[in-house]
Chains A and B, each alone.
Chain A
Amino acid sequence: MSRVDVANVTKKFGQAVALDDVSITFEDGGFFALLGPSGSGKTTLLRTIAGFYFPEAGTIRIGEQNVETVPVEKRDIGMMFQNYALFPNMSVADNVGFGLRVRKTPAAEEKRRIAEALELVQLGAMANRKPSQLSGGQRQRVALARAIVTNPRVLLLDEPLSALDKTLRVDMQIELKRIQREIGITTIFVTHDQEEALTLSDRIGILKAGRIVQAGPPREVYDRPIDAFAAGFLGEANWLPEAALSGLSLPGSPGGRRFATRPEMLSISAEAPGEGRNAVKGRLQQRVFAGAMATCLVDVAGQQWKLVARDRDIPELPGGGEVWLSWDPADTLAVPA
Chain B
Amino acid sequence: MTRSPLVLLGKIWLALILVFLYAPILVMAAMSFNASPFYQLPFQFSTDWYAKMAGNQQIITAAIRSVLIACGTTVIATCLGTAASVALFRYEFRGKRILQVLLFPPIAIPWLITGTAMLVFFFAIGIGRGTPAVVIGHVALALPYVIVTVSARLSSFDVTLEEAARSMGANAWTVLSRVTLPWIAPGIVAGALFAFAVSFDQFVVSYFLSEPGDSTLPVLIYTAIRKGFTPEINAISTIIVTVSMAVMFLAARFSKFGGSR
Partners in one complex: yes
Residue A50, interface by CB 8 Å: yes
Minimum CB distance partner of B179 in chain A: A87
Partner of B160, one of A73, A83, A88: A83
**In the complex, A71→B178 CA distance in Å?**
19
Is A78 among interface residues, defined by CB-CB distance under 8 A? yes
Q: When the two chains form the complex, which single residue of B167, B171, B178, B183 contacts A50, counting CB atoms closer than 8 Å?
A: B167
Residues of chain A lying within 8 A (CB to CB) of residue B178? 98
Q: How far apart sit A211 and B146, CA to CA, in the bound complex (Å)?
A: 47
| A89 touches which of B158, B169, B182 (Cβ 8 Å) | B182
Are B168 and A99 neighbours in the complex by a CB distance under 8 Å?
yes
Q: Tell me if A102 and B168 are in contact (CB < 8 A).
A: yes
Q: How far is the CB of A104 from chain B (nearest CB, A)?
A: 10
B158 surroundings in chain A (CB, below 8 A): 83, 85
B204 at interface by CB-CB < 8 Å: no
User: How many Å lie between the Cα of A50 and that of B163 in the bound state?
Assistant: 10
**Most chain A beta-carbon contacts within 10 A, residue among B168, B170, B174:** B168
Q: Which residues of A contact B161 (CB under 8 A)?
A: 85, 87
A76–B182 touching, CB < 8 Å:
no
Partner among B163, B165, B170, B182 whose Cβ is within 8 Å of the Cβ of A52 = B163
Bound-state CA distance A81–B168 (Å) is 12
Q: If the complex has contacts A87-B179, A89-B183, are A102 and B169 also in contact, measured as CB distance less than 8 A? A: yes
- Asked whether any CB of chain B lies closer than 8 Å to the CB of A185, the reply is no
Minimal Cβ-Cβ distance residue in B for A143:
B164
CB–CB A102/B164 < 8 A: no
Whether a CB of chain B sits under 8 angstroms from the CB of A72 is: yes
Chain B residues near A88 (CB-CB < 8 A):
183
Q: Is B166 in contact with chain A by the CB < 8 A criterion?
A: yes
**Chain B residue at minimum C-beta to C-beta distance from A52:** B163
- Which residues between 84 and 130 of chain A lie within 8 Å of chain B, taking CB atoms? 85-89, 98-99, 102-103
Give 27 pairs: A residue, B residue, CB < 8 Å, sorted on A. Answer: A50-B167, A52-B163, A71-B166, A72-B163, A73-B167, A73-B168, A73-B171, A76-B169, A79-B163, A81-B163, A85-B160, A85-B164, A86-B164, A87-B161, A87-B165, A87-B179, A89-B183, A98-B170, A102-B169, A102-B170, A102-B174, A103-B169, A146-B168, A147-B167, A150-B168, A150-B169, A156-B167
Q: Which 9 A-B pairs have the closest CB atoms?
A: A99-B168, A85-B164, A79-B167, A85-B160, A72-B166, A102-B169, A89-B182, A73-B166, A102-B170
